[in-house]
Every structure is written in structure tokens, then in C-alpha cells.
Amino acid sequence: MVQQTTWTQPLEKNEYDMPLIENLNSSFELGNPGALPPSLIVFEGYVHRIDPLWHISGLGYRYIINVIESILEDATVIHFCGPAKPWLEIGAPLRCEAYEPAM
């Protein structure tokens, strides 16, 4: 989580772009390539740890029965990235009032 006041302060263009460009041009990969690793370097000291159960990601790749129901109920954000959206026929068998109109 990034402090909102820090995020809204303008950064020097090179302060953000250079780590991103260096990361993309290097042959070193730490996890998936993208903007997150250089972003963490730029915002070092301003990023705060949050409870990992606050945001449950990847549910479109997991079989929902294997996810403990109380974890989903307590999560602030549930993220169905991946093909198995609960509102699709191929989706996880999850019933949710928010999806009823689409189902």
C-alpha cells in the first residue's frame, strides 16, 4: 500500500522511468517482468505492508472449493483474474448476489 500523499506528489520523470527501462533492458528477471519491481525501488520507504488476506487474487485460476470460505468473506478485495470468472459457465461455482443479474 502506498501513502496517497506520496503517490500524488509529482516524481521526476527519470526517477520512475529509469529503473523501469533498466529492468526491461536487463536479462535479469525476478518473477514476472513488468513495472512492479522498479516501482518498489522508486517508492522504497513509502510502501507499507498490508495483510495478504486483504486482497485475494488469482481466483480465476483456482478452484473455488479449495479456498476457505471465511477467507473470502473476510477479504476486502477478491480478484478473479484468469479465465474462471464466477459469472461464466466455466467459472468457479460461487454464488454471489452481485453476480446474480449476470448469471
CB 50 within 8 A of CB 1: yes
Per-residue pLDDT of the chain (103 residues; tens, 9 = 90+): 555 665 556 555 566 667 667 767 776 665 555 556 666 777 777 777 778 788 777 777 766 666 677 777 788 887 777 777 777 777 666 655 555 655 5
Confidence (pLDDT) at 99: 57
> CA nearest 23: which of 47, 42, 9, 7?
42
Domain spans in the chain, listed from the N-terminal domain onward? 4-42, 52-102
Cell 529509469, residue located: 18
Indicate the SS3 state at residue 17.
helix
